[in-house]
Amino acid sequence: MAAGRSTVGVAAADHSALLVDDEARLVDDEPVQGIGDLTEHAAGRDFLLDAESFWQVHPAAADTLVGAVLDGLRPGPGERVFDLFCGVGLFTGALVDAGCRAWGVEWSKSAITHARHNVPEARFTAAKVDRALRTLPKRTDLVVLDPPRAGAGRTVVNAVLTRRPRAIAYVACDPAAFARDLRRALDGGYRPTSLRAFDLFPMTHHLEVVAILEPETSAEA
């Protein structure tokens, strides 16, 4: 291989591929082109993505996390939901299929291109989440937060809390960042009504957490 070039091996539900820089080819040398370079299946849908898109490593993780989010939020037909840090639309698709009016936000334009293809029934915005929240509707029934390891952060959490959703699903991959954001939610009048941990990375110290947060009055009812 020429100096400076890199190879990435990708295993997806539809095939395995070797990618050299921006060129992709199947292991059996049949070329793959376009948005559908890779396909994953979860939550009753096919999701098209590329090698740089985020997807859970554990093969059962996507369905497991979707199930935990839906169980916790109990979404109803017609409810509005923000899917923040939505990636290629995994949770957005599940919420649309539950009858919600979903709006996904993700900073990656590539991810949003895939999300619009994967979940054409939803609305999507390609922007940093804190900036997008300045222009999104001021009320919503539900929120899904699935931030990167650094967490959602003060600005995003505060902007979510001001909208007073009836429930928030926080999907966390870093306990410390989650604890900081949970403290902000507690100070803003929200309490965890459910907290589930999933060992999606066996033989490591990493855990994935799904927390359901509801207004304090609802949690005490």
Residue 150 burial by Cβ neighbours in a 10 Å radius (0-12, 13-18, 19+): exposed
Nearest CA to 95 out of 115, 77, 110 is that of: 77
The token pair that represents 45 in the structure block: 């849908």
Does residue 173 have an active-site annotation? yes
What is the chain's percent helix, strand, coil content, to nearest 5?
30, 30, 40
Beta partners for 11? 16
CB within 8 Å of 21: residues ≥ 6 apart? 5, 6
Nearest CA to 83 out of 92, 73, 75, 74 is that of: 92
| Catalytic pick among 81, 133, 173, 212 | 173
Which residues form the catalytic set? 173
